[in-house]
Amino acid sequence: MMSSRACRRRATAWLCLLLLGVGMAAAAALQPSRGIAVLYPEIGEPYRSVFARIIQGIEEQARGPVTSIAIGASPNSQDVANELRRKDARVVIALGRNGLKMAASLERGMGVVVGGVVAVAEADARNFTVSSLAPDPALLFTRLRGLIPTVKRVLVVYDPAQNDWMIRLARQAAGARGIELVTYEASDLKTALLHYQTIVATMESGRDALWLPLDSTTVHEVAVLPLVLQEAWKRNLAVFSSNVAHVRRGALFSLYPNNLEVGRNLADYALGYLAATAPPRGMMPLKAVQLAVNVRTAAHLGIDTAGKQAGFDLVFPEQ
Amino acid sequence: MSDSWAIALILLWDAAVDGGCGAKDIPGEGGRVHWRMTALALGGAVACSCASAQPLAEDEDLALIYGDKSTFSLATGSKQSLRRAPAIATVITAEDIRAMGATDLDEVLESVPGLHVSRASVRFASLHFMRGIVGGGQSTPQVLFLQNGIPVTTLFNGDKGVDWVGVPVDNVARIEVIRGPGSALYGADAYAGVINVVTKSAAEAPGTVAGLGAGSFGSWSAWTQHGGTLGPLEVAAYLRVGGTDGFKKTIEADAQTRNDRLFGTAASLAPGATNLGYETIDASVNLAAGNWRAHAGYRQRDNMQTYTGVSSALEPYSGGRVEHFVGDVAWNDPQFATHWGLGATAAYTAYSFVYPGNLMLLPPGATLPGGTFPAGMIGGPNQWERQLRLSVNAAYSGFAGHSLRFGLGHDDLDLYRTKTYKNYRLSAAGAPIPTGPVIDYSEIQPFIRPQLRKLNYFFVQDEWNFAQDWALTAGLRHDRYSDFGNTTNPRLALVWDAALDLTAKLLYGQAFRAPSFNEQYGINPVANGNPSLLPETIRTLEAAVTWQARKDLQLNLGVFLYRMADLIRLVSNTAPAPGSTFQNTGVQRGRGLELEADWDAGRSLRLSGHYAFQRSLDASTGQDVGYAPRHRVYARADWRFASGWLVGGQLNRVTDRRRPAGDARASIADYTTLDLSLRSERGKGRWEFAASIRNLFAADVREPSLAPGLTLPNDLPLAPRSFYLQAIFTP
């Protein structure tokens, strides 16, 4: 019995290795579509899957595999440039900060589309088409209205160095929806805290909502968030955020990336370069979004989500 | 309010001073307040202002979007699949599993509060002791196992099946564990708890990954996983093959040792080593398009050895083969019409368990009162099952403050074929009489004949938000079985969102366990089936509090009381009739608590753990029901190195396991195990590596053998120290 067992095991192992070998050879044999290359950061799980999903979306939209090059912390830019030339890449989709850094070091003349980042330096924004992971305020306000139809004002504290571009978009989006956007600038946390103190004291339940943007200066996880959420709970005030983790902690809702769709959009930009209809340069907000809602907070605010949960991609609390 | 803001400002100032980040123009306060706030600031405030001054690390953008990795795991996964109802639940994500360094489902489940994974003497089958509900220490059909929401319950034994051993976790997106009764939604066997294993969708496993692993006891595995699209279809596929020789631990004495003593023979292979080898195939395909979902999962365990033997007598000869297919197609339109959502599911499962070379019950030379078995006492119970489950459900939200769910379904549960091979017949008293060579006894004296059970059911549930921060959920399910009749099980849950960071729940539920076909129709004079059996029932009262004590610290406390009735047990037949028959008899009462803590002690360090206590008594004897630990402590630390390595450690202490009534042995020894894992998060190129050591200090870990301990007096030894290495390749 044991010898047949060992024999069977060896046969299965060889079969398995054969399967893996065939699979990998098949993967290697697939010739990437010419023209588009993706530079993506060499990063571990769980975040690796974000970039894998974005690349999947790119390949779907490009209707074929693309050249994908992993960029480590200290890559050799000459090697990457050579590889891009060898693959006849004419447009590069740079994902993440490592991808962006590498793309910035490449020779001019190659189209560059940047994705998988929240924001970039002004110089990079001038040179490249940048698709941000920060959700479009127009979509945020639409969702807000959907949940709280009575809302009239949105208040936000932001650091101009990080979110000037986003607030410009927000003003347009708010105006188009008849919402008054009240903004407070803060370039340090102390100022931000003072603003929040004023805001929370003057907000009116049902009429006002506080927006927490992706801003490492003004949305402090320890000093700001707990107090804002606590005060909002006590006074039945709506807080929504551009960070999905805040929904888990008690914010009403957030929008977060649909990474497959993000990849498709990036591919569209890249295909535009190839078709000589280059997309505009500069920062563009995230439009491919999913919705996370805290139904506990919603119930506390008197929002009936029973018939709306079908449209929620993620619901908190988990139980 | 002003106090809070002042504290925040002081905290900020302290953080700034500690972190050297400027903003020192805020006047601080000295003395106690300053110290208190400094302590608070250590929680992580330091990082923030500094972060913007330095180049962002690659993962910081994603951290800004998704927050912690646990939220990330949920946000990049598919929608939650557990039908929402208030309960005491644990959700373990793929990210948690990675951090744990686990390679086997049961390693993961041991981390759940109130759940202890013990082992059976037969095939080393896992026993899921939930809150002291131990199923007599032999199998645990009181826990309902689901795969992608579909019950995998097998009909002969009523539990999850023999194939659930060495279940890999590479392809697991999420494990959802509900403690407490769930029959009001899930029907039969959601009694002590429900465990739902959700496999990865295309979104959760994008691209192609392949892995190879090898470790102690000749264990090895090779797997590949792919997630992508095929036209309008999202496809996720997984294939894994593997095997193990199993660990070798000495069994000092077994059932045949006792026979040898009684009949003057020397047939026992004890003292001798356990036999635990098997080969595995695990495969799954998940498809999604629009409102449609389909899952197909296949699991095979071949040449499956019997550990200490099916009759508690060591034997290295037998190799069973089990195959289990679980598939379903579901359509769900949550916005079918105004206020209405609608869904339907069709599920099919097929299960077979055979011994191609027959099963050695007692080793060659064994002698019993009926005679001697020169070639060993051999049996061959083979079974084939198929189950069809159809259901529709609807949700209605047209009444303000109410969320209604309805559903109905029909199940065909069919043990459609059985085969019995053996070299003996049973006398009327249940004594085996040798009959020469192994022959087909399927018509002469089968272990069971084919059986068919049909089930129709409906359920209704309403979640009513009757006041701000108060919700009452009431649910009820009625099941009509073709064989043992009807059962109706309600559930009530009162939930109070007392504050932003504090939720309290009070839960009451009734549940039932359907008698297995073996208990109803088994043909064995020493364990006769009883077609008149009724389900086992349980009533449970639970209270739970969830407190987000700080941004990075969550505490959960749950307490419970339960009363089980109509327990299905073997009862000796009234003299002079020999043997025993399954009967509904007895009551079991239990109580306990579970305290959990989860602390993100820093961006790179996470600490979590729990303490669980339970005390379960058999009402007829007033004694502990035995087997399960009264106390268990579990602690885990996951530490991410800046260099991209993840180190994990977990400690598991199992204490105070009493013997049940009639077992005179001393209480089984407590044990503590320590496991370590190391995983590269940014491997060299496209390779990722993982290593784990389990039971680092080689503790003598034993799980209790069946009372009264005459057959395996020294209990069941578990694995000594073991290693496992994995290399994962992303093409």
Q: Residue B684's pLDDT is what?
A: 43
Give me the residue label for tokens 């209480």.
Answer: B667
Please state the domain count of chain B: 1
Same domain, A166 and A243: yes
If pLDDT is split at 50, 70 and 90, which confidence band does A78 have?
confident
Residue A118, CA distances (Å) to A268, B50, B63, B417, B553 in order: 19, 18, 10, 60, 28
The CATH number for B348's domain is 2.40.170.20
Choose the weakest-confidence range: A10-24, A109-123, A285-299, B678-692.
A10-24
Residue at B26 is within a domain: no
If pLDDT is split at 50, 70 and 90, which confidence band does B543 have?
very high
Q: Residue B575's pLDDT is what?
A: 77
If pLDDT is split at 50, 70 and 90, which confidence band does B75 have?
low
Same domain, A196 and A270: no
Q: Does A243 touch chain B (CB under 8 A)?
A: yes
Give A53 to chain B, closest Cα distance, Å: 5
Which of the 8 DSSP states describes residue B707?
T
Q: Does A261 touch chain B (CB under 8 A)?
A: no
Residue at B64 is within a domain: yes
Residue at A89 is within a domain: yes
pLDDT at B72 over 80: no
Same domain, A127 and A263: yes
From chain A, the residues in CB contact with B61 under 8 A are: 96-97, 116-118, 133
CB-based contact B694:B215 (threshold 8 Å): no
SS3 B98: helix
Residue type, B464: W
CB-based contact A46:B93 (threshold 8 Å): no
Give A319 to chain B, closest Cα distance, Å: 6
pLDDT at B604 over 90: no
Section B463-479 average pLDDT: 94
User: % helix / strand / coil in chain B, to the nearest 5?
Assistant: 10, 50, 35
Distance of CA A298 to the CA centre of its chain: 24
Does A244 contact B681 at a Cβ distance shorter than 8 Å? Answer: no
Same domain, A281 and A231: no
CB-based contact B106:B167 (threshold 8 Å): yes
Q: Quick one: closest CA in B to A12, which residue?
A: B241
Please state the domain count of chain A: 2
Average pLDDT, chain B: 88
- Kind plus residue range of the DSSP H or E element containing B725: strand B722-729
Residue type, B133: I
From chain A, the residues in CB contact with B224 under 8 A are: 19-20, 23
pLDDT at B163 over 90: yes
Q: Quick one: closest CA in A to B395, which residue?
A: A307
Does B302 contact A201 at a Cβ distance shorter than 8 Å? Answer: no
Between B390 and B202, whose confidence is greater?
Answer: B390
B401 vs A5, A256, A304: nearest CB: A304
From chain B, the residues in CB contact with A229 under 8 A are: 500
Q: Residue B16's pLDDT is what?
A: 43
Question: Computed from CA positions of residues B684, B688, B694, B698, in that sequence, does the dihedral angle turn out positive or negative?
Answer: negative
Whole-number Å distance between alpha carbons of B452 and B520 = 12
Choose the weakest-confidence range: A86-90, B313-317, B609-613.
A86-90
Residue from A133, A200, A309, A319 to probe the interface with B (highest B Cβ count within 10 Å): A319
Q: Does A25 touch chain B (CB under 8 A)?
A: no
B23 vs A27, A188, A242: nearest CB: A188
Does B75 contact A220 at a Cβ distance shorter than 8 Å? Answer: no
Q: Residue B77's pLDDT is what?
A: 59
Give A305 to chain B, closest Cα distance, Å: 9
Average pLDDT, chain A: 85
Whole-number Å distance between alpha carbons of A152 and A144 = 10
Section B360-368 average pLDDT: 95
CB-based contact A131:A262 (threshold 8 Å): yes
Whether residue A160 is preceded by a cis peptide bond, meaning omega within 30 degrees of 0, is: no
Section B341-354 average pLDDT: 97
Those of residues 136-195 in A touching chain B at CB distance below 8 A are: 159, 162, 188-190, 193
The CATH number for A121's domain is 3.40.50.2300
Residue at B1 is within a domain: no
Whole-number Å distance between alpha carbons of B496 and B546 = 11
Does A244 contact B58 at a Cβ distance shorter than 8 Å? Answer: no
Same domain, A115 and A247: no
Residue at A5 is within a domain: no
Residue from A3, A7, A9, A166 to probe the interface with B (highest B Cβ count within 10 Å): A9
Choose the most confident range, by mean pLDDT, from A196-205, A298-307, B46-55: A196-205
From chain B, the residues in CB contact with A257 under 8 A are: 65
Cα three-residue angle B106-B108-B114, rounded to 5 degrees: 85
pLDDT at B30 over 80: no
Q: Quick one: closest CA in B to A293, which residue?
A: B75
From chain A, the residues in CB contact with B27 under 8 A are: none
pLDDT in tens, B219-260: 999 999 999 888 889 999 999 999 999 999 999 999 999 999
Residue at A21 is within a domain: no
A318 vs B25, B91, B357: nearest CB: B91
Residue B428, CA distances (Å) to A249, B391, B449 in order: 66, 44, 18
If pLDDT is split at 50, 70 and 90, which confidence band does B667 have?
very high
Give the end-to-end CA distance of chain A in Å, rounded to a whole number: 49
Contacts of B282 (CB under 8 A, 6+ apart): B167, B168, B171, B223, B238, B239, B240, B241, B297, B298, B299, B300
Between B17 and B611, whose confidence is greater?
Answer: B611
Q: How many CB pairs under 8 A join A and B?
A: 258
Section A3-15 average pLDDT: 59
Residue at A22 is within a domain: no
Residue at A12 is within a domain: no
Q: Judging by beta carbons within 10 Å of its beta carbon (0-12, 13-18, 19+), is residue B289 exposed, middle or buried?
A: middle
Q: Residue A120's pLDDT is what?
A: 82
Same domain, A101 and A139: no
Give B86 to chain A, closest Cα distance, Å: 6
Give A34 to chain B, closest Cα distance, Å: 19
Q: Residue B29's pLDDT is what?
A: 35
Same domain, A303 and A186: yes
- Kind plus residue range of the DSSP H or E element containing B89: strand B88-93
If pLDDT is split at 50, 70 and 90, which confidence band does A319 have?
low
Section B656-685 average pLDDT: 88
Residue from A189, A218, A249, A252 to probe the interface with B (highest B Cβ count within 10 Å): A189
B277 vs A5, A201, A249: nearest CB: A5
- Kind plus residue range of the DSSP H or E element containing A93: strand A91-95
Same domain, A118 and A129: yes
Q: Residue A72's pLDDT is what?
A: 77
Domain interval for residue A74: 36-133+259-288
User: Residue B360: what are its φ and ψ, rounded to 5°?
Assistant: -85, 110
Which percentage of chain B shows pLDDT scores above 70?
Answer: 89
pLDDT at B693 over 90: yes
Does B210 contact A24 at a Cβ distance shorter than 8 Å? Answer: yes
A46 vs B40, B72, B468: nearest CB: B72
Same domain, A98 and A182: no
Does A46 contact B400 at a Cβ distance shorter than 8 Å? Answer: no
Residue at A13 is within a domain: no
Domain interval for residue B435: 53-730
Which of B12, B186, B227, B189 lies closest to B87 in space, CA to CA? B186
Same domain, A122 and A111: yes
Section B490-498 average pLDDT: 95
Residue at A199 is within a domain: yes
Q: Residue B28's pLDDT is what?
A: 35
Contacts of B35 (CB under 8 A, 6+ apart): none
Same domain, A126 and A218: no
Does B45 contact A117 at a Cβ distance shorter than 8 Å? Answer: no
Q: Quick one: closest CA in A to B397, which residue?
A: A307
Give B513 to chain A, closest Cα distance, Å: 24
Q: Quick one: closest CA in B to A301, which residue?
A: B468
B58 vs A15, A96, A229: nearest CB: A96
Which of B662, B660, B519 lies closest to B581 in space, CA to CA? B519
Residue at B578 is within a domain: yes
Does A246 contact B277 at a Cβ distance shorter than 8 Å? Answer: no
Choose the weakest-confidence range: A265-279, B204-218, B502-516.
A265-279
CB-based contact B123:B304 (threshold 8 Å): yes
pLDDT at A171 over 80: yes
pLDDT at B424 over 70: yes
Q: Residue A27's pLDDT is what?
A: 53
B471 vs A17, A42, A299: nearest CB: A299
Same domain, A186 and A143: yes
SS3 A174: helix
Does A13 contact B84 at a Cβ distance shorter than 8 Å? Answer: no
Which percentage of chain B shows pLDDT scores above 90?
Answer: 75
From chain B, the residues in CB contact with A188 under 8 A are: 22-23, 49
User: Residue B135: what are its φ and ψ, rounded to 5°?
Assistant: 55, 35
From chain A, the residues in CB contact with B79 under 8 A are: 313-314
Q: Residue A34's pLDDT is what?
A: 64
Give A104 to chain B, closest Cα distance, Å: 15
Q: Residue B525's pLDDT is what?
A: 78
Contacts of B31 (CB under 8 A, 6+ apart): none
Q: Does A104 touch chain B (CB under 8 A)?
A: no
Give me the residue label for tokens 């977060």.
Answer: A256
pLDDT in tens, B123-142: 999 999 999 999 988 899 99
